[in-house]
Structure 1
C-alpha cells in the first residue's frame, strides 16, 4: 500500500470550494497545528463568497473577459484557437486565511497583493498583542519542513550561505565524507560572516535550479579546503549546469475599459488555458509557437492605474532548456541564456515559441474585449515588448502625450518565478538524483533533490507539485543509503 504523501493529499482537495458561498470555518485548515496556532478561534460564522469580495474584482473581470472570448466563435477561429478553458486557479492554498482577511478577522496580506512577499496575514492575539502569522501558501515551512521538524532530527540554520562542498576520502578505508563550508551571516555585521564547517557522510543539494548546479560546478573547479592541489569535488558530468530553462514564463499587461483593481486580490486566483491546432507537435514546429498557453491573473501591489490587468503566461518552447551555467573570470559560475530575437514580427530563439503564442492569444483577447473601444477609455501608455527591463522604482511610467500610440497590451520576458534544470535526471544525475561523475559513475553520497532535476519546463503549469512528486520519488529510492552525519565545527 502506498504511503500518504503531501502530493496525494493536495490532489485530494477541492480547491474551487472557497470561491462558493461558504462558511470559513468549514474550510479544512491546511496549516500544521504543531507549527501554527489553530485558526478556529479567529474564524467568522458568516457566509462569505471570496470571489464576490471587492478585493477580487480583477478575478471577476478576468473570467468575464475569458468567457466573452470563448463565446465569439469567429475570433476564436481567426486566431487558430482550438479550445479555451477559463477556471479558478488550482493551487495549494489555505483560502480560510483569505476568508478571514476579507471578514477583518486578521490583518490583510494576500488580499492587498503581497504575492511575492510571503503573504503573511496576521492577527494580534494575547495580552502582549503577539503577532501570529497565517500565510495562505501551503509552503515548505507548513508541510515538509514542519513534518521533518516534528521528528526532532532537523535543524534549520537561517542566514547561512554554503560557499563550497569538499569531498574527503580516508586514505586507509577509502571511506567518503564531505566537508561543507558555510558563512553564517550576522544581521548586524553582514560584511563579517562567521565561518562554520560541517562534516557529513551524505550531502543533498536542494538549493534550487539557480544554485545547486552552481555550487557543484564551483566546488568541482576550485581547490579543496584540505588540499589546494586537488579540486573540492571530483570531475562531474558535463551535463551539470546545462539544460536550464524558465518554464516558458513571461509577463503580460493588458488594458481594460473598466476598473479591475489590479493591486488587490491574491495570489493567482483565476486562469485560462488555451490550446492551438489539432496536433501539438505539428503546431509547434510549423508555427514556431507553443501549442498551448496558460494565462493567470495576479495582483501587483504597487499598481497605480485601476484599469491595468497583470497576467503571468506559461507556454512551451521547442528547446525547453537552452540555458547553462558558464564559468566567469573570477572562478564563479553564472547563468547564460540565449537571446530572444524579433524578426519580421516573429520571435526566434530563447523564449520565441512561448512569446509568439502569447502575443497571438493577447491579440485574440483584445479583439474580443477591447478592440474598437474609445481610446480615451484606456490608460495612455506605450506598449512594451521585449526583455523585462530593470527599474529603479516601482512606479509604472505612463506617457503624458495624448497623441502617443495606445497599445492594448505589453509583453515582458527574460524572467521567471519557475526556474528549472541544471542537474537533470538521467543526465547530470541518475534516475534518482545521485550526482554523476565525468565518467558516468555515481559520486557516492552526493545528491540533488529539487527543481534542478527537471529539464526546463513542466508543460505550461506551475512546477511546485511536479517538483514535490519528483523529490518524493527520488527519496523513496535513496533514503536507505543515507547515513548519520558527523556534526559541525566553528
Structure 2
C-alpha cells in the first residue's frame, strides 16, 4: 500500500528506463549531446570495493540475491527470507524462465562478463535486418564498447595458477573433440584476482563467487563505466528504486510514465507521473516487452505495432554440469568464465564456455559448461489482465535442433575427458540471455525507433530477435546502441525532442 495517495508530477526532456547495456550507452550519449536526462532504474545501487560485503555469496545466499521474492531463485537452495530488492528476478513463463538483472548497472552487475563478438556471417543469421551494419560495428562501435569496458583476457600467469586448473582442464579437452579453445574477453581488472592469490583480498574471482556481483570490485560494469561518465556531466540523474508501471501517450503527444518509488522491501513510498518528450526503453528484453505489451493491451498507446510481444528467444542457452572429469580440476575454480570455443561448422553455430562453480561438495568435482547458439525468435508475450502483466510462452521445440547439437558435443567432452555430463535445464529450461519481444523491422526501425511513434525508442536486447550470433548478447546490445545513438543524436535531436 502506498504511504500517500498524491501523485508527484515531473517533466523531462528525455527519460531512459533501465541501466543495463542499452541504457548506459543511451544515457552517456544523450548527456554528451547536451540533453538533460532522467534515468529510471527499479533496482538499487550497489557499491563495491576490496573485501566488501556488498553482495551475498553462494555459501551465505540471502535476500540480496533475489528481486522481491521470499525464496532463493538460483542454485537449488531451499531457503526463505524477507523479500528484498535483490539483484536477480526470475520471470517465470510457459516453457521458459528468464533470469534478469535488477540493479543500477542492469545485468552487468551479475553477469560473468563474456564479451564475444559474433562473426559477420553469424551476426547476419541472427539479425538479418542489421547485416549491412556489421562492417561499421566491427570498425567503430565494438571497439568503442571494448575500450569503455576495459576488456581483457585472463593473463597467462593466472591461467597457470592452481585456482584456474579447471579452466586449463576444459581448454585441454576441447581439441580432443574438434574445437579450438580461445580466451574470452572480460571487463575485469585482473590485478584483483592476483591480489586474491597473494592473500591481499578475500577470494571472489578466484573461486567464481560472482553470480550476485563481485565484492572485491575491479569489474567494469555499466554502473562504473558508462553511467558514471554520464552522471559526471551533471546532465544525468539516475533514480534507483523507481519502478515504471505503465507507459502512455497523452493528448499532447507527450509520453507519460507511471512510476512507483519503492523502498528495499518493495513498499511504495511515492507515486510519480513523468511527462517526457522522448522515452528510451532499456529495461531488458522482458522488462521492455512487458511494458509495451501492457500499453497496447490497455489502450494507453494507440496503434502500437502488432509485432510487439513476438520474436522472443533464449539465445539458445543451456547449462550443463560436468561431474568428476578424470583430469585435475583443483580444489577451487577461478573465474569469470575465461575459456571457450565456437563451432560454426555444423547446421547451427554454437559456443561452449566453462564457468567456474563456487560450491564444491566433498568427493564430487563439478564443472559448469554453458552452451548457447543461434535460434529463431519463436517466443511470444501476451497480456494477462489478472496479473496486469505480460506472460511469456516459449515452445519447447523451438531450440530442439540446437540443443541436440550442444548435447552431442557435451557428451563428446565427457567421453574425451572422463566423467558425466548432466543437462541441468532438461526439466526446467531457463535463460540468462533474453532477446526479442520488440523486434527490429517489425516493431522498431534499424535505429530502435518504435514504428509510428515519434520519441519512443527501444535500444536494448528487446529489439534483437532471438539470439546474437552464437555469442552472449551484452557486447552486441551495447555496440548496436552506440550505432543507434549516433544516428538519433544527429537526426532526432532538436526535431523530435
- Indicate whether 1:415 and 2:430 are aligned: yes
**Which residue does 1:322 correspond to in 2?**
378
**Which residue does 2:354 correspond to in 1?**
297
Offset at residue 456 of structure 1 (A): 0.8
Distance in 2 separating the partners of 1:219 and 1:160: 18
Q: 1:205 aligns with which of 252, 259, 281?
A: 281
Q: 1:321 to 1:218 in 2, by over 3 A?
A: same
Q: 1:89 aligns with which of 160, 163, 184?
A: 184
**Which residue does 1:23 correspond to in 2?**
none
CA-to-partner distance for each residue in 1:233-253, whole Å, 9 max, x for gaps? 112111111111011110111
Distance in 2 separating the partners of 1:108 and 1:484: 52
Structure with more helix by fraction: 2
Q: Is the 8 A contact 2:153 2:185 kept in 1?
A: no
Offset at residue 388 of structure 1 (A): 4.8
**Which residue does 2:258 correspond to in 1?**
181
- Indicate whether 1:8 and 2:66 are aligned: no
Q: 1:215 to 1:14 in 2, by over 3 A?
A: closer
Map 1:42-441 onto structure 2 (within 5 A): 49-67=157-175, 69-70=176-177, 83-121=178-216, 134-136=217-219, 138-170=220-252, 176-187=253-264, 190-222=266-298, 231-255=299-323, 256-261=325-330, 264-277=333-346, 284=347, 290=348, 292-304=349-361, 306-317=364-375, 320-330=376-386, 331-339=388-396, 349-370=397-418, 383=422, 387-389=426-428, 414-436=429-451
**Which residue does 2:83 correspond to in 1?**
none
Q: Is the 8 A contact 1:200 1:484 kept in 2?
A: no
Offset at residue 457 of structure 1 (A): 0.7
Offset at residue 484 of structure 1 (A): 11
Offset at residue 110 of structure 1 (A): 1.8
Q: 1:101 to 1:203 in 2, by over 3 A?
A: same
Gaps (5+ residues) in structure 1? 21-48, 71-82, 122-133, 171-175, 223-230, 278-283, 285-289, 340-348, 371-377, 390-413, 437-441
Distance in 1 separating the partners of 2:374 and 2:174: 21
Q: Is the 8 A contact 2:318 2:370 kept in 1?
A: yes
Offset at residue 165 of structure 1 (A): 1.1
Q: Which has the larger radius of gyration?
A: 1
CA-to-partner distance for each residue in 1:192-237, whole Å, 9 max, x for gaps? 4421221111111000101101101112322xxxxxxxx3211211
Q: Is the 8 A contact 2:255 2:276 kept in 1?
A: yes
Q: Is the 8 A contact 1:110 1:120 kept in 2?
A: no
CA-to-partner distance for each residue in 1:87-128, whole Å, 9 max, x for gaps? 22123332232222222333332222223211131xxxxxxx
Report the 3-state secondary structure (helix = DSSP H, G, I; strand = E; otherwise coil) of the residue aligned with 2:340. strand
Q: Is the 8 A contact 2:454 2:496 kept in 1?
A: no
Q: TM-score normalized by structure 1?
A: 0.67
**Which residue does 1:405 correspond to in 2?**
none
- Indicate whether 1:455 and 2:465 are aligned: yes
Offset at residue 162 of structure 1 (A): 0.3
Q: 1:19 aligns with which of 155, 176, 179?
A: 155
Report the 3-state secondary structure (helix = DSSP H, G, I; strand = E; otherwise coil) of the residue aligned with 2:179. strand
Distance in 1 separating the partners of 2:167 and 2:159: 7
Report the 3-state secondary structure (helix = DSSP H, G, I; strand = E; otherwise coil) of the residue aligned with 2:468. coil
Offset at residue 9 of structure 1 (A): 4.0
Distance in 2 separating the partners of 1:473 and 1:16: 23
Structure showing greater relative contact order (alpha-carbon pairs closer than 8 Å, 6 or more residues apart): 2
Superposition RMSD on alpha carbons, in Å? 2.8
Q: TM-score normalized by structure 2?
A: 0.66
Report the 3-state secondary structure (helix = DSSP H, G, I; strand = E; otherwise coil) of the residue aligned with 1:135. coil
